[in-house]
A and B are shown apart, each in its own frame.
Chain A
């Protein structure tokens, strides 16, 4: 609770060992509050949080030894060099001098920062800073990694690099708790996803099962060689919604087969050349929007 406001309520879930678990929600849904409770920055008014068998409210320091945390608003120390930042992190976890040096060199090399190891972090790009932030957080090879918006605002190369690092760590046994606004990222990385809305859990399941729950949101994407207006699609009743996406049209339907046949007939009748046509299944983004639009959404565990 913050004053009289309940930030999160009855949030209950588990994360399996070795899993990549996604935590999604719109702005203000309670993601950051939840992650702050999970990393011992906030103490919940009620309930318990067990991290690797340790009650984090009772033994925060012992629990945090098992965690690597990259908070959303976190930053590395801009006045320290890349090497100093990583070494500073290692000191908190009690790595021996020899081990610390070896791990620091290994991480600088792995994250492509070795050539800039003695440059202060303030001279780094946003992508390099984020790489350094992650390198600092995993110096002690934590069994559990918390990532809060790890690829937010980064270029495509940096995003891919960070995803590859997360996958690599997970393949070696690290459990990953990922908070993200990037639904495609969650779709690509996570084995299960938890969606929080208005401080309550709205759904927990695998991305594919969540998508299938919202099959009604299937759509057809079609593009023609010449420009057309939405009047072209007016004379039919298969579509629930029509959207223009650049040079394409997206038609949401519950009857994709009938709609495709109708579109082909339309193209023939109007002498239009179809340049692309595809059926899009329900996307995770659409499932997310569907779940989070309803404020009274009940807890949904499909399995």
Chain B
């Protein structure tokens, strides 16, 4: 009974943190416009003036868009809250740091999912794939959770200055794209290039997307699912440790 009450309290608090984040940080016009325009800009950047087969490139574009949208706001929530003086108030509620972390992750995940479901449906309609829709949606669910967890992890060293975290976040997120199998397919990578590609969670999502859209994948699918789960667990575990360590930094 006591344990059920505690679970209810935990779920309720995660939902409250998620709702707060969505209301304050994700439903702002600039954030939504960024979310919607970003996939379009990626599309234009890779399509205009290049001889690219968009149909085969779309899974990579969708993965990149999901990665950016799900991990974009998470790194900034904690420094924004520390700067505004609301972080201490948040922690004074009956919550633990895990509640705050999961609420932040859930908000980023919902944002990434909602924006990229539009992109997915547009891609399915426009390119007329014989896609495995359930695999794609499941992959988007797990990957958006994973990428949002990375966003929250990147917030962990934050003090009161969002600009510092913005730079730090870009320093980590952009290389993860460059080393992944988006720009150069895994089968064409060798040696260090391939080794580095395995270090990016995006690689495994692209692999699942390739299977879902085109029925072709370079890595065995179970490996990709497991790797996404391992990355997610590692991001959450490290977030927990580092957020606790830096809890009072900047308060």
Which A residues fall within an 8 A CB radius of B?
36, 39, 41-42, 60-62, 64-65, 67, 69, 71, 73-80, 84, 88-89, 91-94, 133, 136-137
**How many whole Å from A159's CB to the nearest CB in chain B?**
20
Q: List 18 A-B contacts (CB under 8 A).
A: A41-B92, A61-B6, A61-B95, A62-B94, A64-B94, A67-B92, A71-B92, A73-B251, A74-B85, A74-B89, A75-B84, A76-B86, A76-B89, A79-B23, A89-B93, A91-B15, A94-B8, A94-B9
Report yes or no: B86 in contact with A39, Cβ–Cβ below 8 A: no
Chain A residues closer than 8 Å to B89, beta-carbon distance: 69, 71, 74-76, 133, 136
Proximity bits, B207-251, A CB within 8 Å = 1, else 0: 000000000000000000000000000000000000000011001
Complex CA gap A65/B8 in Å reads 13
- With contacts A60-B96, A64-B94 known, is A88 near B248, CB below 8 A? no
Q: How many residue-residue contacts, CB under 8 A, span A and B?
A: 74
A79 and B15 in contact (CB under 8 A), knowing A41-B91, A60-B96?
A: no
> Among A39, A77, A91, A94, which residue has its beta carbon within 8 angstroms of that of B92?
A39
Is the CB–CB distance between B16 and A91 below 8 Å? yes
Q: What residues of chain A lie closer than 8 Å to B86, measured between beta carbons?
A: 74-77
Does B132 count as interface, using CB distance less than 8 angstroms?
no
CA distance A94 to B9 in the complex (A): 7
Do the beta carbons of B16 and A88 come within 8 Å of each other?
yes
- Does B13 make an interface contact (CB < 8 A)? yes
B23: chain A residues within 8 A (beta carbon): 79-80, 84
Residue with the greatest number of chain A CB neighbours at <10 A, chosen from B15, B84, B92, B248: B92
Whether the Cβ atoms of B13 and A41 lie closer than 8 Å is no
Scoring B8, B12, B94, B248 by chain A CB atoms within 10 A of each residue's CB, the highest score goes to: B94
Report which residue of A75, A76, A78, A133 has the largest number of chain B beta carbons within 10 angstroms of its beta carbon. A75
Residues in A neighbouring B15, C-beta threshold 8 A: 91
Chain A residues whose CB sits within 8 angstroms of the CB of B13 once the complex forms: 92
Beta-carbon contact of B93 and A77 below 8 Å: no
Q: Are A79 and B24 in contact (CB under 8 A)?
A: yes
- Contact present for A74 and B94 (CB under 8 Å): no
- Which residues 1-26 of B sit at the A interface, judged by CB distance below 8 A? 6, 8-9, 12-13, 15-16, 19-20, 23-24
Contact A77 B94 (CB under 8 A): no
Closest A-chain residue to B13, C-beta based?
A92
Give me 9 other A-B pairs in contact (C-beta within 8 A), A36-B248, A61-B9, A75-B89 excluded.
A61-B95, A62-B94, A65-B94, A67-B92, A69-B89, A76-B86, A78-B84, A89-B93, A92-B16
The interface residues of chain A lying within 8 Å CB-to-CB of B85 are 73-75
Is A80 within 8 A of B94, CB to CB? no
Residues of A within 8 A of B84 (CB): 75, 77-78
CB distance from A54 to the nearest CB of B (A): 12
Interfacial chain B residues near A136, Cβ < 8 Å: 89
Decide if A88 touches B94 in the complex (CB within 8 Å): no
Q: CA A42 – CA B88 in complex, angstroms? A: 11
Q: Please, which residue of chain A has its CB at the minimum distance from the CB of B83?
A: A75
Q: Distance (Å) between the CB of A184 and the closest chain B CB?
A: 26
Min CB distance A171 to B, Å, is 24
Q: In the complex, what residues of B have CB within 8 A of residue A65's CB?
A: 9, 94
Give the residue of A41, A93, A94, A133 whose beta carbon is less than 8 angstroms from that of B248.
Answer: A41
Within 8 Å CB of A39, what residues of B? 92
B20 touches A77 (CB 8 A): yes
A89 to B20, CA, bound (A): 10
A-B complex: 8 closest residue pairs judged by Cβ atoms: A75-B85, A69-B92, A91-B16, A92-B93, A64-B94, A74-B89, A71-B88, A65-B94
B88 touches A93 (CB 8 A): no
Given contacts A74-B85, A75-B85, A94-B12, contact A88 B20 (CB under 8 A): yes
What's the minimum C-beta distance from B16 to chain A, rounded to whole angstroms? 4
Query: Which of A73, A92, A133 is B95 in contact with, Cβ under 8 Å?
Result: A92
Taken residue by residue from 67 to 107, chain B's Cβ proximity to chain A (1 for < 8 Å, 0 otherwise) reads as 00000000000000000111011011111100000000000
CA distance A138 to B143 in the complex (A): 39
Residues of B within 8 A of A67 (CB): 92
- Looking at the assembled complex, report how far the CB atom of B7 sits from the nearest CB atom of chain A, in whole angstroms: 12
Contacts of A78 in B (CB 8 A): 84
Closest chain B residue, CB of each to CB of A78 = B84
Whole-angstrom CA separation of A42 from B249 in the bound complex = 12
Q: Chain B residues with Cβ under 8 A from A41's Cβ? A: 88, 91-92, 247-248
State which of B6, B8, B94, B251 has its C-beta within 8 Å of the C-beta of A93. Answer: B94
B residues near A36, Cβ cutoff 8 Å: 248
